[in-house]
Amino acid sequence: MTFRTIAMAVLGSMAALTAVAATHAAEIFPSKVVKSPAPVSAIEVDQAILPLLQKYDIPGMAVALSVNGKHTFYNYGVASKESGQSVSNATLFEIGSLSKTFTATLATYAQAQGKLAMTDAVSRHLPFLRGSSFDNIQLLHLGTNTAGDLPLQVPQEIKTYDQLMEYYKNWKPGHAAGTHRTYSNLGIGLLSIATAASLGVSYVDVVEKTLFPALGMTHSYIKVPARQMAQYAQGYNSDGAPVRVNPNVLADEAYGVKSNTRDLIRFLDANMGLLQLDAKLARAVTDTHTGYSKTGVLTQALVWEQYPGQAGLEQLLAGTGVTMSRESNPVSIIDPPLPPQADVWLHKTGSTNGFSAYALYNPARRVGIVMLSNRGLPIEERVSAAYGLLNRPATAAP
């Protein structure tokens, strides 16, 4: 029997918090019209989530909502069928490709510190690749899935990072950089490696020791420490067998973050301008929202996928379909790039063999949601449930 617990996190006076958040958000998104979203009830969340748990036999799920800076957590089921431990807002889930948003943030943070420019050639930061196709491919192309036609997954014969770098050196794109969108773990993984190289540290170290602390994410990891293993949920594959992510080449750099709803909803608040951050980090977070190209209904920002605030569910679903995720699609370059917008939906999905993740938010409406589960949940179900909970009538703030 699935059970659900609710926790509410309200820091200080809600009136004061909302006022500070709105002021800070207005500084980042000066053209936005502040709106007050309609509240979401526990009953409505249950109505959206409980049928999914039953339909897909999902052992556990954690959901977090942010509305005007106020957080509510909804926890369902168990983190492990074997132990019976309940899901909580401290439970660590594998977040799969949602991890890529941290690569994007780290890259723009390195740019804000003068360590790189997103328009740099990849080979500028990875000398081994000089003389290869990456002399003519920018870091920006990696972060917007427009480097060419890199495969989605690392080829099975590649077992070491030395072999991976040889693969990159010999790879020849089927399309010129900036002309087609091809979703690829190898592209984002290479951006992670190049960004870390520009900073002179390993990717795992800079994310865990610099980026997460700067964002106030105190329980997020790539390498889960022994002291936190009790919080690490057990994932289950499509057959119901217990699994966790394999330590394959690029697992750390492309889809390796383990986090909880408490940290991730804070990350969405940062993306909505609701947190007071270091100025360079605040700018870096916002810079990941810049729009660089369009593919059908989707505006590609830096990893984040963006849609107009008035977009319907069908548009978000079209942007996450198989055609977008598995095929190479021509793009229209936005020149000059589209500055960060306020009333837009930004989202990212993530999956590993035993986990599913989804994040959706709108800076103008100051609403966001994180959904984490320890078994696969179809992307269309995640998007539909989250959008249905957030896209609610709103009134202009008094």
From the candidates 66, 74, 76, 97, which is the catalytic residue?
97
Number of helices (H), then strands (E), belonging to the chain: the values are 15, 18
To the query of whether residue 351 is one of the catalytic residues in this protein, the response is no
b/e map 278-299, b = 16+ CB within 10 Å: eebbbbbbbbbbbbbbbbbbbb
d(CA 156, CA 159): 7
**321 close to 127: Cβ distance less than 8 angstroms:** no
* Nearest one of 339, 295, 287 to 315, comparing CA atoms: 295
How many CB atoms are closer than 10 A to CB 31? 11
Distances (CA, A) of 297 to 145, 311, 321, 342, 344: 16, 9, 12, 18, 13
d(CA 235, CA 59): 9
**161 close to 202: Cβ distance less than 8 angstroms:** no
Provide the CA 5 distance to its chain's centre, in angstroms.
25
* Nearest one of 265, 233, 263 to 359, comparing CA atoms: 265
To the query of whether residue 133 is one of the catalytic residues in this protein, the response is no
Q: Which residues partner with 75 through β-bridges?
A: 5, 62
d(CA 115, CA 107): 9
Distances (CA, A) of 269 to 106, 322, 338: 17, 29, 21
Q: Is 100 exposed, middle or buried (0-12, 13-18, 19+ CB in 10 A)?
A: buried
d(CA 155, CA 151): 8
d(CA 138, CA 370): 31
d(CA 108, CA 337): 15
From the candidates 36, 56, 167, 183, which is the catalytic residue?
183
Phi-psi map region of 178: left, alpha, beta (phi>0 left; psi -120 to 50 alpha): left
Kindly list the catalytic residues. 97, 183
